[in-house]
Structure 1
Amino acid sequence: MDSADAGTDDVMELYGDDPVVHSSRAGVVRGRADIRQFYEDNSEFFTGGEHHMTNFHQDGNTVICEGYLDGETTVGREANGVPLCDVMEFNEDDKIVAFRAYLDYRGYVDEVPEDVPNVRAEAE
């Protein structure tokens, strides 16, 4: 899949029979049906977004992709140059069986609301 315009069907072709996705926004998503829904929901939340992958690392059946994200959420928050890292594990048929998506949310958050607790201060 080489297209930035790939749809959910194209993405789902990359997955094996019993995959799992770990997302900081959606949590742990298991199985093809729920993962399909995750991608459909994500495309509604993040409109006009593009992933730009810049570095790739492979060790056995694990591939790490580094890059950044550009686009806008449906609530109007811009995400330009948000660093990301995807970690994928593949089966013997070269299908994804585990996918972990990591985003640097500092790229999304301009300011932290005052009602968000300061975890470090509370731990002291």
Structure 2
Amino acid sequence: MPVSAPRVCGHCGGVHQSGERCPKAAARDRERKARFDRKRPNSSQRGYDREWEKAAKEFLAQQENWWCACGAPATVVMHRRSIRTAPHLRMERANWRPGCHRCNAIDAAAERRKLKGK
């Protein structure tokens, strides 16, 4: 299988092999993530407390909730209407659906883009 040619890095000016990550770019990304995490409220402050964890576990244990819409095993409970926009629906099971981590991340990113555009 052919391998791509080495490339000149835009961050450090060094040459990196195909698939190799620039250490300076990786450090920059870690710092950016750390800054974001310092500002972000913890899970309890975002509405995911002990009551939520217990109810979500029970929800995912039901056979009809074993699979995400994409066909992957369900590992998280997703809200049809986000608790960021509708906190009163946080514990309403009619607002819940089973999901996988990938679909949850995609929905969360779409919501952030939507809210940012307002």
Question: Is TM > 0.5 for Structure 1 vs Structure 2?
Answer: no
Which protein has greater RCO, CA pairs closer than 8 Å, 6+ apart? 1
TM-score range, shorter chain: under 0.3
Q: TM-score, normalized by length of structure 1?
A: 0.24
Q: Which has the higher helix share?
A: 2
Give the structure with higher Rg (CA). Answer: 2
